[in-house]
Amino acid sequence: MVFSASPGVEQWRISRFSRRAGAWTALCLACLLLLPVSALSQRAEHVVYFENTDYELHVYRLYGREDGKTLLLIGGIQGDEPGGFLSADLYVDLTLARGNLIVVPRANFQSILMQRRQVNKDMNRTFSGDVDRNSYEARVVEILKELIAESDCMLNLHDGSGFYSPTWISDQRNPNRYGQCLIADCDIYEDPERGIRLDLGKMARTVIADMNRHIKNPDHHFHFNNHRTNEKDSTHKEQRGSATYYAVYNCGIPAFGVETHKGLSLAEKVSQHNYAINGFMALLDIVPETPGIYLDTPELSYLLVSINGGSSVLVANQQTLYVRPGDIVRVIHIEANYKRGLTVDLLGAGTLNDLRKDFKITRESKLVARKDSLPCGTVYVAFGGDPMNRAQNIATVDAGGSALFFNVEVNGQPLVFPNYGHVELIRGDTLKLVDVAGNGPYGDVVVNFKGFVGDETNNTGEDRGYLIHTAKDLWERYAVDKEKNTYQVVATRKGQVTGKLFVHLNPPVLRYLMLQAADGAEHLYCCRPGATLVLSTKAAGSLRLADMITNVSDNKGVRVFAGFGDTLAEWPRGGGLPGADRIAGRPAEAACRVEVRRGDEVIGQVTLRFLKEHENG
């Protein structure tokens, strides 16, 4: 029975209570998982051939601090063999103390996108013989030939069928299978006129011995596979058009095919390719910092899209970009948790790779982002106006402005904000500055949260990676407003400001405290902060905390405490009132103080008064 209530209490009679949680709307959603940044003390070059085509070719040259031999890594020459191209991709981020690497992670990008061994012709049979020189495969091979000529050794990374064995054991393990072997076109190659002797068999066996020490399953151990490609009775004469044959017989350098078994897990295939690469690097005295294995599920963060050649918009994964019929759309940047192997495909138009291409939108469609052949995100394209984009908080970058973006985490949720954007937080939220990104190089940028020190023993001004608790970690004197609620994150390059992000802290606020009681009928009481709710003592035993509605996302860190004196106990959601069993022994009137807190801050208070029924006569 309810005796009375202050104006701050609303009473509802209910048969069932539906939880109503406060919702927090982000400016835009995105995700960015970054690979480690390479050390800047070595020299590196990145060249792109056939840019903006389906067969775009990326070549990376890494130079050690000390000069030495050069190893060429070719992955993805056949597009249905991911172990090879994903392993090669890891070495692009390598730092070398001595020696050099040339890395071509995706030699046949179009076949990777299509998940096919070949498109027009097997690229690994295109290095000699009858070849259509106008095909894209031949154009790519001409670049690969130049790279082979620059190198001291070459590895062609593959995933093969079955298990190679020098003797016939079974249909899947015999001399005609390819998996788990290092292939050479001969055991020893000699060219007296050029003074060349290559002991390919010895090199391969040395590396294999080291590889097999890392492979626990004996059935997966590697073997040397001599194709005897140039012999009249060779069963592998087709290999005379291969990259390894060209490297040995035309360029006079050792070359090997590395074949892992296609049936192994992707992590196993990548690891075993790494073992082979590391073994040959050691043989050539190329001293590395070995890369880790990064095989997280690819996930699109956002697309940076130009409309009609003017302002660009940042559209997050699964958002809808609204345009007008006839608008010209160009995707100018893809941000994801990988840096390489990214394409975008406007379905129903263009080709497999539509990045940095203009398209006139005549019908609704979608932009599918891919990492290699795997779809990793979608942006929908529909007809509508700018208000529909603004309703989704799609950020706009001025045509002449910076395409810098800040990748952050708020309470563990990945978000992205444009340069000079504003982050609206609730005091007590956690913030992590993950990185800056955009359509330019930002590796040398320092990101500093003014008013926060991540490492007090060594304050470098670089605050990426630290978890910032906004209720207790900030120095108010660095706030830029009189209310001490707005702070700035400043990105600088060589002392020059390249971008800013403004962080505004709003106070946490209790809007309603929802209490539920059953005293003959089931009632829900919706109490505003400062309200007093008067109940009968009989209702105390059935009183439950149904919910609290605040401006805090998911009520993260918000707790309720209640008690009849100075000491308050936590009141869990759905639980009974602490101390309710002791009300019967109290005087005619008992007052209970209810506090809602976030951390140490009280964000709202409600008073409960319990009266015995007979005193209301």
Say how far residue 215 (Cα) sits from the centre of its chain: 29
Q: Domains of the chain: which residue ranges?
A: 2-22+510-616, 43-288, 296-392
- Min mean pLDDT across 17-31, 127-141, 466-480 is at 17-31
Confidence of residue 23 (pLDDT cuts 50, 70, 90): very low
Q: Is the pLDDT of residue 397 over 70?
A: no
Q: Is the pLDDT of residue 262 over 90?
A: yes
Taking residue 388's Cβ as centre, other Cβ atoms within 10 Å add up to 15
Q: What is the pLDDT of residues 404-417, one digit of tens each?
A: 788 888 988 878 88
Q: Is the pLDDT of residue 424 over 60?
A: yes
Say how far residue 405 (Cα) sits from the centre of its chain: 15
Residues 6+ apart with CB under 8 A from 169: none
In the structure encoding, which two tokens stand for residue 562, read together?
Answer: 């209640």
The per-residue pLDDT for 387 is: 87
Q: Is the pLDDT of residue 567 over 60?
A: yes
What distance in Å separates the CA atoms of residue 152 and residue 136, rounded to the nearest whole number?
Answer: 26
Do β-strands 153-160 and 255-261 pair in parallel, antiparallel, or remain unpaired?
Answer: parallel
Judged by DSSP in three states, 473 sits in: coil
- Identify whether the C-beta of residue 379 lies closer than 8 Å to the C-beta of residue 321: yes
In the structure encoding, which two tokens stand for residue 63, read together?
Answer: 């130079």
Confidence of residue 27 (pLDDT cuts 50, 70, 90): very low
Tell me the mean pLDDT in the region 28-47: 44
In the chain, % of residues over pLDDT 70: 87
Tell me the mean pLDDT in the region 538-565: 90
Residues 6+ apart with CB under 8 A from 513: 526, 527, 529, 545, 548, 560, 594, 596, 604, 606
Average pLDDT, the chain: 86
Q: Is the pLDDT of residue 612 over 80?
A: no
The per-residue pLDDT for 34 is: 26
Confidence of residue 139 (pLDDT cuts 50, 70, 90): very high
The residue ranking higher by pLDDT, 438 or 277, is 277
Confidence of residue 309 (pLDDT cuts 50, 70, 90): confident
Confidence of residue 212 (pLDDT cuts 50, 70, 90): very high
The per-residue pLDDT for 159 is: 96
- Identify whether the C-beta of residue 375 lies closer than 8 Å to the C-beta of residue 369: yes
Report H helices in 255-324. 266-283
Q: Is the pLDDT of residue 4 over 70?
A: no
- Min mean pLDDT across 157-166, 495-504, 596-605 is at 495-504
Confidence of residue 131 (pLDDT cuts 50, 70, 90): confident
Report H helices in 11-106. 82-90
Q: Is the pLDDT of residue 135 over 80?
A: yes
The per-residue pLDDT for 184 is: 97
String of DSSP letters for 507-555: PP-EEEEEEEEESSSEEEEEE-TT-EEEEEHHHHTT-EEEEEEESSGGG
The per-residue pLDDT for 329 is: 94
Give the residue among 342, 501, 392, 504 at the shortest CA–CA distance from 436.
501
Tell me the mean pLDDT in the region 55-80: 94
The residue ranking higher by pLDDT, 483 or 285, is 285
In the structure encoding, which two tokens stand for residue 235, read together?
Answer: 């069963």
Confidence of residue 7 (pLDDT cuts 50, 70, 90): low
Confidence of residue 525 (pLDDT cuts 50, 70, 90): confident
Q: What is the pLDDT of residues 328-376, one digit of tens each?
A: 999 988 888 888 899 999 999 989 899 989 999 999 999 999 999 999 9
Confidence of residue 540 (pLDDT cuts 50, 70, 90): confident
- Identify whether the C-beta of residue 592 lies closer than 8 Å to the C-beta of residue 562: yes
pTM of the model: 0.59
Q: 350-383 burial string, b = 16+ CB within 10 Å, else e?
A: eebbbbebebebeeebebbbbbbbeebbbbebee
Tell me the mean pLDDT in the region 4-25: 40
Q: Is the pLDDT of residue 559 over 70?
A: yes
Judged by DSSP in three states, 477 sits in: helix
The per-residue pLDDT for 292 is: 61
What distance in Å separates the CA atoms of residue 126 and residue 142, rounded to the nearest whole number?
Answer: 9
Q: What is the pLDDT of residues 86-109, one digit of tens each?
A: 999 999 988 898 999 999 999 999
Query: What is 43-288's CATH number, 3.40.718.10, 3.30.70.1350, 3.40.50.720, 3.40.630.10?
Result: 3.40.630.10
Matching residue, tokens 């509605």: 549
Q: What is the pLDDT of residues 221-240, one digit of tens each?
A: 999 999 999 999 999 999 99
The per-residue pLDDT for 13 is: 40
Tell me the mean pLDDT in the region 428-434: 93
The residue ranking higher by pLDDT, 305 or 44, is 305
> Counting every residue, how long is the chain?
617
The per-residue pLDDT for 9 is: 59
Sign of CA dihedral 542, 543, 545, 548: positive
The residue ranking higher by pLDDT, 510 or 294, is 510
The per-residue pLDDT for 443 is: 67
Angle, CA of 122, 128 and 130, to the nearest 5° = 75
Q: Is the pLDDT of residue 442 over 70?
A: no
- Identify whether the C-beta of residue 603 lies closer than 8 Å to the C-beta of residue 509: yes
The per-residue pLDDT for 608 is: 93
String of DSSP letters for 308-332: TTS-EEEEETT-EEEE-TT-EEEEE
The per-residue pLDDT for 16 is: 31
